[in-house]
Structure 1
Amino acid sequence: MKFKPALSLIELLLVVSLIGILSLPGVLGIINIRARQSLDVSTNKFAEIMRQAHIFSRENRESLSWGVKGTDKNSYQLVTRDATKTVTVREKHRLESPTVFIIYPFEVWFDQGTGNTEINRIFMTYASKGGTRVVGLSPTGLVVIGIL
């Protein structure tokens, strides 16, 4: 009786190569999905903090003006300002990696009692392989999120 191996070394290498080639799009897709999810989570959290500052200012909470201040490409702060223009940092937040702000630093202040701002503002977040998201802020404090 002759002994025959189930798979020769060449056949085994061929099978492993085919599996690797066929699974490559799936692995790349997972990387892109993670970047998009990170971008969406970061953008939604940023918009929520912006809404929170608007509501706190509109309610005149603690008799202070509330705002959001972008300090660098991936962090921002919820801040307050009193009548003497002294700024206090209330909360610090970071964008999820690999998401970054396209334009920074920035400051947005909401008027006490009304929650209004001076002009329309647009904030853009970007993640490589994830795309770009836009957070729009109207003078009345309306915060909207869009996709570019």
Structure 2
Amino acid sequence: MIALIQRVSHAAVQVEERCVGEIGPGLLALIGVQRDDDASHARRILDKLLAYRVFPDEAQRMNRSLSDTGDGLLLVSQFTLAADTKKGTRPSFTPAAPPEEARELFDHLCDLARTAHPTVETGEFGADMQVSLVNDGPVTFWLEV
């Protein structure tokens, strides 16, 4: 499972001109599900999302996590993160989980997140989404488990 995370001051997801998820300060996590991922991968990526230290402390060092700040978490499925881009100029999506498996694992991740963190919003799996964000820093990390 892959998470491309961005520390944001604001992020929102729209589907057909309606807002389906929105947070103020926190993390936007674009989630890619790969073929061999299972529930243990969802648990491990959530643990990383909540514990990864990307927020500044009093000395402006990245020493605080989402769990420390209590800020928002916006989870958005993005199968293109699982693309193989090593050869040529067209991505191969062979590494990506089939849609029904990916949906099940993404939903599982969202359920886990909602029980572990107070503010969790999501995009809409499989929808054509417009994601807007204000990247704070900018701070962006690629996490993989």
TM-score (norm 1): 0.26
Give 1 or 2 for the bigger CA radius of gyration: 1
Q: More strand by proportion, 1 or 2? A: 2
**Larger RCO (CA within 8 A; separation ≥ 6):** 2
TM-score (norm 2): 0.26
